[in-house]
Structure 1
Amino acid sequence: MVNNNGFETMAKYLSGLKVDDSVSKEGLVAAASQFADKLRPELPSEPNAPLAQTYGTLRDKLQVVDKGDHIQVTFGNAFWWLFLEHGTSPKNHQGIRARNYVHNTFAANKNTIMQTMVKPVMDALKK
Structure 2
Amino acid sequence: MSSARPAGLPHVDAKEPAVLVLPGPVTRDEVAALCAQVRMLLAGRGARVVVCDVGGLGPPGLAVVDLLARLELAARRAGGQIRLRDPDPALHALLDLVGLRFQVEGEAEDREPALGVEEAVETGDPAL
TM-score class normalised by the smaller sequence: under 0.3
Query: Whose strand proportion is higher, 1 or 2?
Result: 2
TM-score by length of 2: 0.25
Q: Larger relative CO (CA 8 A, sep 6+): 1 or 2?
A: 1
TM-score by length of 1: 0.25
Query: Whose helix proportion is higher, 1 or 2?
Result: 1
